[in-house]
Amino acid sequence: MKRIKTAIVGASGYTGQELLRLLLLHPHVELVAATSRQEEGRALSAVFPRFSKVDGADLPFMLPDPDAIAATGAEVAFLALPHGVAAEIARALLERGLKVIDLSADFRLRSAATYEEFYGHPHPAPDLLEEAVYGLPEVRGEAIAAARLVASPGCYPTSIILPLVPLLKADLLEPSTIIANSMSGVSGAGKKADLSLIFCECNESARAYGVPKHRHLSEIEQELSIAAGEDVTISFIPHLIPVNAGIVTTTTATLKDGASAEAIGRVLDEVYGAMDFVRLLGEGSCPDTKNVTRTNFIDIGWTFDPRTNRVILMSAEDNLGKGAGSQAVQSLNLIFGLEPTAGLQFV
């Protein structure tokens, strides 16, 4: 089978490095371009010795120049760039005939005004928002398969939206009562120098941050509103915990009048039971990040508290995996009609 010529733009960062790990080993991919301004000219394996003796890892990093990327013959590019930067490169690559799977937040929102409200600057490419597809394969598989531009979801939103969507669609929860508490490993913040993220500031400690209006609320509320068929506003409280990678989220919501708690497990099972990367742990089971790090799985557990009439949903994923890199590879598999698990079967 012909291999798909693929580029990673921003391949030296944390999600870029995870994409390198996945795509160097993907059976249907030929990695033809990997960009980094700081590492230009150095082989992937020299910068990341983890990849020594892996086929293709002698590829040198190149500059993120759209003409040079297109000249490699790349058919598709993953963008692992800061938001704001990604939109401009996405446009240039689309104009050169590539498909784009963007890991940044630039194309996740339908409304340019909401982007400006949450990201603090005008949207850099509002004309492209309409065609971009929010890249949650379990929810939008068909649209992703037909897309030219995929907006891969944020790490926290993946862990919050996936457990809730089937239950909101089935009208089991009171949307206005949703509260999501998440804990994330430090790699979620990317590979930038930031005093608050250095070892002595994070290790042996944990803290909430980004309250009450973390920027991920914008895409979470957008997607939950679509599922519920009404405007949904929730509380979201992210926490930083001293691990490299992994997110665990606990979401609570009141069961709607007349809905049965028994339906929670049944609906989740109907929607996700046959899906490759959602593992339903069963009622009362609490997912653990150690079972999902470095995988594309999201593990989901749930329970119901009759004293409060609240449903408790628990999920665990790797922020760099299902929350970023491997979820984006799921979209690649859909776009190119590959088997859904190609290049993603590892635990």
DSSP calls for 306-321? TTTTEEEEEEEE-TTT
Rank residues 175 and 287 by Cβ distance to ligand NDP and give the closer one.
287
Q: Hey, what amino acid is at 222? A: Q
Site for ligand NDP in 42-81 (CB under 6 A): 64, 80-81
Query: Rounded to whole angstroms, how far apart are CA atoms 331 and 99?
Result: 11
- 3 state DSSP class of 28: coil
First to last CA, the chain: 26
Options 137, 166, 175, 188; binder of ligand NDP; rule CB under 6 A: 188
By a kind-dependent CB cut-off of 5 to 8 A, residue 238 interacts, out of ligand X2W, ligand NDP, none, with: ligand X2W
Pick the binder of ligand X2W from 75, 210, 283, 342 (CB under 6 A): 210
Given a contact cutoff of 8 angstroms between Cβ atoms, the answer to whether 292 and 315 are in contact is no
Phi, psi of 311 (to 5 degrees): -90, 140
Residue 105 in the binding site for ligand X2W (CB under 6 A): yes
Q: Answer left, alpha or beta for residue 303, where phi above 0 means left and psi between -120 and 50 means alpha.
A: beta
| 210 interacts with, out of ligand X2W, ligand NDP, none, CB within 5 to 8 A per kind | ligand X2W
CB half-sphere exposure, 158, CA atoms < 13 A: 35
Three-state DSSP state, 267: helix
Please indicate whether residue 200 is annotated as part of the active site: no
189 contributes a contact to ligand X2W by CB under 6 A: yes
| Contact region with ligand NDP (CB under 6 A), list: 10-18, 162-170, 212-220, 280-288 | 10-18
How many residues belong to the site for ligand X2W (CB under 6 A)?
Answer: 12
Residue 190 sits in the site that holds ligand NDP (CB under 6 A)? yes
Residue 64 contact, options ligand NDP, ligand X2W, none, Cβ 5-8 Å cut-off depending on partner type? ligand NDP
Decide which of ligand NDP, ligand X2W, none touches 217; Cβ closer than 5 to 8 Å per partner kind: none
Of 82-90, 118-126, 223-231, 300-308, which segment contacts ligand NDP by CB under 6 A? 82-90
DSSP states along 95-158:
HTT-EEEE-SSTTS-S-HHHHHHHHSS--S-GGGTTT-EE--HHHHHHHHHT-SEEEPPPHHHH
Cβ distance to ligand NDP smaller for residue 155 or 344 = 155
Does residue 140 touch ligand X2W according to CB under 6 A?
no
Among 6, 12, 159, 249, the residue binding ligand NDP under the rule CB under 6 A is 12
Tell which one of 83, 123, 140, 279 touches ligand X2W (CB under 6 A): 83
Q: Cβ of residue 286: shortest distance to ligand NDP, in angstroms?
A: 22
Please pick, among 155, 200, 202, 286, the residue that the annotation labels catalytic. 155
Closest-approach residue to ligand NDP (CB): 13
Q: Is 62 helix (H, G, I), strand (E, B) or coil?
A: strand
In angstroms, what is the minimal distance from the CB of 191 to ligand NDP?
A: 3
Length of the chain: 347
* Long-range contact pairs involving 306-310 (C-beta distance under 8 Å, separation at least 24): 306/261, 308/254, 309/254, 309/255, 310/177, 310/252, 310/253, 310/254, 310/255
DSSP state of 327: H
Q: Cβ of residue 233: shortest distance to ligand X2W, in angstroms?
A: 19
Interaction with ligand X2W in 213-232: which residues (CB under 6 A)? 216
Contact 78, 103 (CB under 8 A): yes
| H or E element at residue 264 | helix 262-272
Residues tagged active-site:
155
Contact footprint for ligand NDP (CB under 6 A): 10-16, 36-39, 64, 80-83, 85, 103-104, 154-155, 187-188, 190-192, 319-320, 323-324
In the complex, which residues of this chain contact ligand X2W (CB under 6 A)? Answer: 83, 104-105, 154-155, 184, 188-189, 210, 216, 238, 240
